[in-house]
Amino acid sequence: MASSQTTSAIRMSSDLASFRKELRQAKHVVALTGAGVSAESGVPTFRGAGGFWRKWQATDLATPQAFNRNPSLVWEFYHYRREVMLTKKPNNGHIAIAKCEKRFLSEGRKFTVITQNIDELHYTAGSKNIIELHGSLFRVRCTKCGHREVDRSSPICEALKDRGEPDVDVPDARIPVDQLPKCRQPDCGGLVRPDVVWFGEMLDEVVLQKATAELDTCDLCLVVGTSSVVYPAAMFAPELASRGVTVAEFNVEETPASGAFKYYFQGPSGETLPSALAP
């Protein structure tokens, strides 16, 4: 529970009592999360100051074109983000979401997390029913045979050891392809890539179907820490609102989508969620 001091510091722009009444009556909640829910865990968001790695933004490197052009540079970027996660923990926002899911389950109600994040912090916080729209930092996919597997190794390959530093003046490692992470399937040995959805790539059909099925049956949606600019995730909550489903946004600032939502709670989600989702 946020301390009284921080609660008074948070300007709750909507009527918390009214939201909590709807939360008590909801049968199926979907929590749609973005990079902002992990910000207080120290994970850089995409569009904040932390959105740069060396001289690039994620949108420059999180593309199939960038990977085909320079797999070494893209692997340095993902290797850096994997290593960063080794020291990051879920914050009170992730934990409040996980506790709310547990309470809903004990009351025969449904709670689904649909996240745009690839940092797996919702799993670590104890959430169970999670849909990762954009994949995971800790899964790889072979570019040759398509084999997917979880890979938490640090470093993911010898050549990336101590590489990936984020400072703008660090020279690219220019690692030869045959020293980059390789497929472990017998007789393959193909180059593997992070198993994430890059810009310009379609979301996994099955993942999208699962997310759509959850969104079609939910009666309350929390939108937490997303700038709502990346599609198709950006249209999920506005679509629900247009169908009359209650949407509550938790963000430190208003977003292009805020106007469509019934509730807006301003403040860091690590502080606003515990009081909003408490029993």
Residue ranges binding ligand BV8 (CB under 6 A): 34-36, 39-40, 45-48, 58-59, 62, 116, 118, 134, 196-202, 225-227, 229-233, 250-253, 255, 268-269
Tokens coding 111: 């709670």
Which of the following is catalytic: 94, 122, 134, 147?
134
- Provide the token pair at 170: 């660090």
Sites of contact with Zn ion (CB under 5 A): 142, 144-145, 147, 183, 185, 188, 190
8 Å CB contact between 128 and 101? yes
Provide the residue type at 132 as one letter.
E
| In the complex, minimum distance from the CB of residue 233 to ligand BV8, in angstroms, rounded to a whole number | 5
Q: How far apart are CA 67 and CA 191, in angstroms?
A: 11
If the CB atoms of residues 27 and 96 are measured against ligand BV8, the closer one turns out to be: 96
What tokens were used for 242?
Answer: 């247009």
Q: Minimum Å distance from CB 196 to Zn ion?
A: 17
In whole angstroms, how close is the CB of 189 to ligand BV8 at the nearest point?
25
- The option from Zn ion, ligand BV8, none interacting with 188 (CB < 5 to 8 A, set by class) reads Zn ion
Q: Based on CB atoms, which residue is closest to ligand BV8, 52 or 245?
A: 52
| Cα-based angle 101, 104, 110 (whole degrees, multiple of 5) | 85
Confirm whether residue 136 is marked as ligand binding.
no
Residue 80: name its binding partner from Zn ion, ligand BV8, none (Cβ under 5 to 8 Å by kind). none
221 among the known binding-site residues? Answer: no
Angle in degrees, 0-180, between the axes of helices 269-277 and 16-25, rounded to the nearest 10: 60
51 is in an annotated binding site: yes
User: In this structure, what DSSP letter does residue 185 have?
Assistant: S
CB of 182 to Zn ion, least distance (A): 8
* 196 φ/ψ angles, rounded to the nearest 5 degrees: -125, 165
**92-106 and 269-277 helices cross at what angle (nearest 10)?**
20
In eight-state DSSP terms, residue 40 is G
Is 269 assigned to a binding site?
yes
C-beta of residue 157 within 8 angstroms of C-beta of residue 180:
yes
28 given a catalytic annotation: no
24/55 with CB nearer ligand BV8 = 55
CA distances from 2 to 89, 95, 155, 253, 268 (A): 18, 13, 37, 19, 11
124 is in an annotated binding site: no
6 is in an annotated binding site: no
Using Cβ positions, the residue closest to ligand BV8 within the complex turns out to be 36
In angstroms, give the least distance from the CB of 67 to Zn ion: 16
Nearer to Zn ion, 128 or 184 (CB): 184
> Which CB atom, from 129 or from 185, has the smaller least distance to Zn ion?
185
Residue 41 binds: one of Zn ion, ligand BV8, none (C-beta under 5 to 8 A by kind): none
* Nearest-angstrom CA–CA distance, 194 and 184: 14
Which residues are marked as active site?
134
